[in-house]
Amino acid sequence: MAETSLERLIEPIVKEMNCVLWGIEQISHGRQSTLKVYIDSDNGVDVDDCARVSRQISSLLDVEDLISGSYTLEVSSPGLERRLFKAEHFERFKGAMIKLSLRSSFEGRRRFRGILCGLEDKQVVLRMGEEEVLLPVEGIERANIIGEID
């Protein structure tokens, strides 16, 4: 969950556009890759916000040339089942139902689902039924909110 040079480069642009950089994902598909940039704001994000931010980021990446090879840039809202990228995301969504997967197994398993209780000493506290499990933040491969629609 460390901040990358790409995040440091993109974040000021996103802020300038009155949004917050939620997270960045780079996905490779052979020689082609996709750079997914998730933005958010207190008022939500619409298609126009994504288009404005996308144009600015695209121009910057053309100049900086940080991504080798061809890539597709996608800018979107994190959505209802948003991915949790940063430690502060785990604090912000205390009480939410989440699912997460680890890079390597912990007590014989890699996938967990439960209620997020927050962070404690750089570990995610997850309540699964009557049991609480502490999982190291740096060992998390992916964590997402489980969206609930009323």
3-state DSSP of 92-127: HCCCCEEEEEEEEEECCEEEEEEEEEEEECCEEEEE
68 and 28, same structural domain? yes
Whole-prediction pTM: 0.84
> Pick from 76, 98, 114: which residue ends a domain?
76
pLDDT digits (tens, 9 = 90+) for 65-124: 777 778 899 999 999 899 999 888 999 999 999 999 999 998 899 999 999 999 998 899
> Pick from 51, 76, 101: which residue ends a domain?
76
Q: What is the pLDDT of residue 106?
A: 86
In CATH, what number is assigned to the domain containing residue 23? 3.30.300.70
Q: Long-range CB contacts (< 8 A, 24+ apart) of 56-59?
A: 56/13, 56/16, 56/17, 57/10, 57/13, 57/14
Q: Return d(Cα 127, Cα 130) in angstroms, integer.
A: 7
Q: What is the pLDDT of residue 1?
A: 38
Provide the domain limits for residue 135: 87-145
Q: What is the pLDDT of residue 110?
A: 95
pLDDT digits (tens, 9 = 90+) for 23-61: 999 888 888 889 999 999 998 999 999 999 999 999 888
Residue 116 CA: distances (Å) to CA of 2, 67, 130, 148? 21, 34, 13, 14
Given a cut of 90, whether residue 149 has pLDDT beyond it is: no
The mean predicted confidence, pLDDT, of the chain is 90
- Per the domain annotation, does 150 fall within a domain? no
